[in-house]
Structure 1
């Protein structure tokens, strides 16, 4: 478990990029209701890190769904209902901040891309019934991998970095048992010959004493009271990083 402290998040982020990844997969713990007074991970990535990727990254895949207009309205509405059950505890501005990230990328010359599920995929989620959430998680991983592979393999590809930005469940290079189908990490690591970096971004104040947080490999090694004004970077495995932001002002 490598662990380093940096004066600024930008310095920690630069260390992550030293390996020259072909795919940089950024995962976040989505901001929750009640945390609106703390700058979110999405906002920090947009403001602190994205400008430094201009000229180094060609494309940004964002975990936002674009609806295919050919799909049946009732089909889409059913899936949106299932989505709300998952996102109801999240901060209201999350989707708008994802959209703002895409607009900021475009201004910097980085092409943004949303995920576009097919009508058949919407239908599969509806038919999954009580397993609809699992079906959605698997679909997000599958569509992100497909989009990344298409960008990496397109004619005239520049060799610049492709960024994927979304939830931290999907970018694991070594997913936990039972979650393999939720992550695109192993597939993209294989097709890039290991030039894949998983980077989880964590807002310090949002770390809780809960089972889901304790299950993370860096959690036993982190003390919120130590180095509160530093950016802490864990490297729990090759190609895998967790960057914890300094405490908010």
Structure 2
């Protein structure tokens, strides 16, 4: 699914965030996951007997009963959840090997509303600790060996695209990388070669499409390299960026801008596309109306619940509840 805006981050250095090449060392296991608990000391003979724990099936049933089921809310498999975390857990239930998250970027004038990036970092990323090994972020990192005039020309093209976006977007992408590393998830930025930068600089009026194609190609290459590593076996690879590149079924003419079909094939279908949308960012404009779920979404219905559309297998749109 496409988003009305795309972010093409200016050349920034993610070294402090740990943006390592595909040959970097494996992520250390989360110490809270996978280790056996120490045995409890035996109770003294005079201790009263303890209550018998319910069998696992009864405990599971009790837990399930305590969690409200999502409510059907219309077409495209729409479900309304009590909170975003449960909606995200529902998506993870598909068991993806690659989770490709696309966002609606914050725009100027919306600085008082938490962005999709911030919500993902604070609410969803912790749920991936121990499950995901790597996070590929749509951050463009300059190779210092490239000609400065080439990089400057590309940066100028980027500014033309991002001028209507909130000034903090790039900083929030960097913060997302730092948050991932703290959780034991290795962040990666995108580093185009000097030849790729030169091709974009020489593309003229086609510079933006060339950048979009490069972003998709670099993301797919990094993800496939990580998928092929033995130390990543059984772990999830997460890609995070604009909700244009993760489409598993891109619009005609935009196929080269999306890594979705390639990674879906590489994972044998274990690919999930998730767009996360801040409700207040949705506008009655042509780009939004073109999205397949827009006609089925009513912002006045379920305003305090998280709405999750499932337009196709492995494809989800999560719309956050209204901001309080």
- How far apart, CA to CA, are the structure 1 residues paired with 2:135 and 2:232? 14
Partner of 2:304: 229
The 3-state SS of whatever aligns with 2:88 is helix
- How far apart, CA to CA, are the structure 1 residues paired with 2:231 and 2:85? 31
- How far apart, CA to CA, are the structure 2 residues paired with 1:105 and 1:126? 32
- Provide TM-score, normalisation by structure 2: 0.76
- How far apart, CA to CA, are the structure 1 residues paired with 2:149 and 2:253? 31
Aligned residues: 249
Q: Post-superposition shift, 1:19?
A: 1.0
The one of 235, 239, 251 aligned to 1:176: 251
- Provide TM-score, normalisation by structure 1: 0.99
The 3-state SS of whatever aligns with 1:2 is coil
The one of 272, 276, 283 aligned to 1:197: 272
Alignment of 1:233-244 (within 5 A): 233-244=308-319
The 3-state SS of whatever aligns with 1:69 is coil
Alignment of 1:40-119 (within 5 A): 40-119=115-194
- How far apart, CA to CA, are the structure 1 residues paired with 2:230 and 2:92? 25
Q: Post-superposition shift, 1:121?
A: 0.4
- How far apart, CA to CA, are the structure 1 residues paired with 2:277 and 2:105? 9
- How far apart, CA to CA, are the structure 2 residues paired with 1:38 and 1:30? 12
Asked if 1:152 is matched to 2:207, the reply is: no
Q: Post-superposition shift, 1:127?
A: 1.1
Partner of 1:4: 79
- How far apart, CA to CA, are the structure 2 residues paired with 1:64 and 1:104? 15
Partner of 1:212: 287
The 3-state SS of whatever aligns with 1:89 is coil
Asked if 1:187 is matched to 2:262, the reply is: yes
The 3-state SS of whatever aligns with 2:102 is strand
- How far apart, CA to CA, are the structure 1 residues paired with 2:189 and 2:224? 14
As a proportion of its length, which structure holds more helix?
1
Alignment of 1:32-47 (within 5 A): 32-47=107-122
Partner of 1:127: 202
- How far apart, CA to CA, are the structure 1 residues paired with 2:231 and 2:300? 49
- How far apart, CA to CA, are the structure 1 residues paired with 2:198 and 2:149? 10
- How far apart, CA to CA, are the structure 2 residues paired with 1:11 and 1:42? 18
What CA deviation, in whole Å up to 9, does each residue of 1:161-210 have, x standing for no partner? 00000000100000011110000000000010000000000000110001
Partner of 1:14: 89
What CA deviation, in whole Å up to 9, does each residue of 1:18-75 have, x standing for no partner? 0110000000111110000100000000000001100000000000011111101111
- How far apart, CA to CA, are the structure 1 residues paired with 2:233 and 2:314? 22
Q: Greater Rg, structure 1 or structure 2? A: 2
Root mean square deviation, CA, Å: 0.6
Q: Post-superposition shift, 1:157?
A: 2.4
